[in-house]
Structure 1
Amino acid sequence: MNEILKNILSRRSIRKFKQEQIKDEELQSIIEAAKYAPSAMNQQSWHFTVVQNKEVLSKIVDSIKLAYKNLGEPKPENFNPFYDSPTLIIVTGDEKAIAPQNDGSLAIGNILLAAHSLGIGSCWIHILNFIFNRDEFKDLKRELGIPEGYVSVAAVALGYKDMEGKAAPRKEGTVNIIK
């Protein structure tokens, strides 16, 4: 089996990370892979916001907790949807593009695979869509440097693994081949 297929078949979501920050060269390689994802009409409608600052990560977590509390669904004090990862990549897309959600999702796929190929754990995080697309969080988006008119696609937690992922069985009956 070739290396690309091995990488695809062996990548798993990681939800426990060491606190050691990933290397800048590794981060640059991961971002470069993201920027080479396919996109509708080659619009490359994505924007990547990398957060490695612990205080900023805490502020994002606190914003998420506040949003849930305001909905009457408070989260526990130790709740961290990013699993205490040292790096978070927030992927947003230009709402005026043809397919910003699809473009961003393909970029995230590249992020996940590139990280795995470098021995870095990753986990797709969807919870930011809950807060980022709400008016009361416009200031946070601005503070993070997310361009006006960009909508949340998802985020990726990154860090060196402090666990091994295990593959769930694949569902049967998900493929039709018509010849």
Structure 2
Amino acid sequence: MNKVLETIKSRRSIRKYLSEQIKDEELDMILESAIYAPTGHNDQPWHFTVIQNKELIDEMSIESKKMMAESSVEWMANMGRAEQLHLFYNAPTVIVVSGKKDAVSPLVDCCAAIQNMLIAAESLDIGSCWIGLVKFFFENSENVAKFNLPEDYEPYYAVCFGYKDSLGNKAPERNEKVVNYIK
């Protein structure tokens, strides 16, 4: 099978990491893959904040979970109250992906950059997990100020990275009845 397709099909969200920090050259390759993502109108509206400070990563997890615990959505509130859950699964590196507010399609462009990072990490045998629930942390402007973002950027998501301490689950069955053809 083609190497790229094999990497895409083998990638899993990893939720258990070794404590060892990923190498700078591996991090650089992951970030480079992100800046080569497709982007509407070639805006390249992304900004990446690399966090390797365990205290800040832990704070982001704790604060997000506090807000999740107050959610009216039961599963989310339960996750927020789960003492053992670390929102970033104790990964040693977290990248916050932010987008320029006035770009043509910043959220979509940033999502394409995230997907590139996930695939690049898998190709390097580095685990990753896209974290959407960090949005709770981003709701507080004092929290966002800690990222020193360029003006007119807002954080969307975070992705955690680290060496795998588990291989992840088997891929769930895929619904293949999602395509129609018009020829």
Query: Is the shorter-chain TM-score for this pair beyond 0.5, marking a shared fold?
Result: yes
Quote the Cα distance in structure 1 between the aligned partners of 2:110 and 2:99.
6
What's the C-alpha RMSD, in Å, of the aligned pairs? 1.5
Quote the Cα distance in structure 2 between the aligned partners of 1:173 and 1:4.
23
Which secondary structure state, in structure 2, belongs to the residue aligned with residue 167 of structure 1? coil
Equivalent residue, structure 2, for 1:125: 131
Which residue type is aligned with residue 130 of structure 1? F
Q: Do 1:39 and 1:103's aligned partners in 2 also have CA atoms closer than 8 Å?
A: yes
Alpha-carbon shift at residue 9 of structure 1 (Å): 1.4
Same amino acid, percent of matched pairs: 47
Equivalent residue, structure 2, for 1:151: 154
Q: Do 1:128 and 1:152's aligned partners in 2 also have CA atoms closer than 8 Å?
A: no
Establish whether residue 85 from structure 1 lines up as the match of residue 91 from structure 2.
yes
Q: How many residues align?
A: 176
Which residue type is aligned with residue 177 of structure 2? G
Match of 1:177 among 172, 176, 181: 181
Q: Do 2:65 and 2:87's aligned partners in 1 also have CA atoms closer than 8 Å?
A: no
Equivalent residue, structure 2, for 1:116: 122
Quote the Cα distance in structure 2 between the aligned partners of 1:170 and 1:68.
29
Which secondary structure state, in structure 2, belongs to the residue aligned with residue 168 of structure 1? coil
Which secondary structure state, in structure 2, belongs to the residue aligned with residue 63 of structure 1? helix
Q: Which moved more, 1:144-153 or 1:115-124?
A: 144-153
Q: Do 2:61 and 2:134's aligned partners in 1 also have CA atoms closer than 8 Å?
A: no
Q: TM-score, normalised by structure 2?
A: 0.90
Establish whether residue 105 from structure 1 lines up as the match of residue 111 from structure 2.
yes
Q: Which moved more, 1:102-111 or 1:63-72?
A: 63-72
Which secondary structure state, in structure 1, belongs to the residue aligned with residue 159 of structure 2? strand
Alpha-carbon shift at residue 153 of structure 1 (Å): 2.4
Q: Which runs of 4+ in 1 moved over 6 A?
A: none
Alpha-carbon shift at residue 71 of structure 1 (Å): 4.6
Which secondary structure state, in structure 2, belongs to the residue aligned with residue 121 of structure 1? strand
Quote the Cα distance in structure 2 between the aligned partners of 1:23 and 1:38.
26
Which residue type is aligned with residue 86 of structure 1? P
Gaps of 5+ in 2: none
Gaps of 5+ in 1: none
Establish whether residue 95 from structure 1 lines up as the match of residue 101 from structure 2.
yes
